[in-house]
Structure 1
């Protein structure tokens, strides 16, 4: 289903979409006050559910209580620009390549992120895939500032990232624009990370993020892989992490967000040994 805006008050619910060549559902350019709810998506050739704010902002939309399984290429749920949108209560599992479970991307000519983006109460399973072009692992949720900065009020709250093949969280720019674009205004709160093959957070960009009550266990590598913009200045990484408290749980080097990592210690190791995590258990 492909919807070219401008349009508003579209409702999609209780739908099953499987075995698609490209996206299952895409809100494209100027879709407002619309939603996809209680829908099952499996085996898409591109993003399962996407909001793509090309030329016109998508505003006030919601993807809620959906299940997205095994996108073969790209992401389970992807948000490309837009204003005041929500991704809530979804289950995303088993992405395959060139993407992951949840994606926030300033790319494909999308309008800037403005207002607030809420990513709340979602669960990802066996995500954080290997990116074959970059030869590194992604995050179960990953932010990519390619065309412009990501600089909005983005709140990632009460999500569970389970059995992550590589990282749970990634913030990244591409090499040609690494000194041009930043990612900031991202707030992680009340997150549970159960199992990572590598790190909890991988930062490969300039910018900053805050973390509060992010609990992690079965972490395969250093809690934060902080490369920043790869200039490696004496003052530390170009990406800073702020600890707002309650960030508990161990990694191979102690607490995943240990004081020695803050605010911007360079720990860059993009290809550490991958430690397959055990199956998630009761928290």
Structure 2
């Protein structure tokens, strides 16, 4: 896909981190970018800086997602690109003993459900609705659109406390090929990136010694990933027509240990 001002894109989670870097990279190519996010001030600021459109969207709400696509398409036209970066996580053991009183507790199911709703169902909701819109477009070089999703290395080697997070990201990996096959006859490609440990706002509040330890755990290069590196891989997936149905780790060769 040739990236230029004739192309519109939607980036979920585009107000910060991996999504922001991708929104900026697309805009630098001339693409008209709509940012879906719950961070109103930050999202509006990024959209203003890149000449895009901010849409306050909660990916767990069908009504909110529909309104976001309606606003984005009114501003930029039907998107040919969707990049799903909206997501969150938690760290809770499946079952554990209290250090204080020896009592036993289990993973609260509402907390598990929340992660699935945001990371997995939210991602699929945006894919399905964006793909339906892409079907209305005329194909260019036999192609109507490209979708990039964000999973995590935790999809393959989740750590202690990551049952919900790993399940949600594993679901994103697991649905990539079936969705690519669903859409292959319509000229829409689907790929997924599995990032390792990246220097995003999620880690921004961590103490320096924690950040240093995480960086040291990466085989090479021995540092945290840069959001711009994620963006470059996302753009490669979008621009390369033969890239389809793939799940690609971007992790400096790390394999996560149990903790």
- Look at both structures and tell me which one has the larger radius of gyration over its CA atoms: 2
Query: What is the TM-score of this pair, normalised by structure 1?
Result: 0.26
Structure possessing the higher relative contact order (Cα contacts under 8 Å, 6 or more residues apart): 2
Q: Tell me which protein shows more helix as a share of its residues.
A: 2
Query: What is the TM-score of this pair, normalised by structure 2?
Result: 0.28
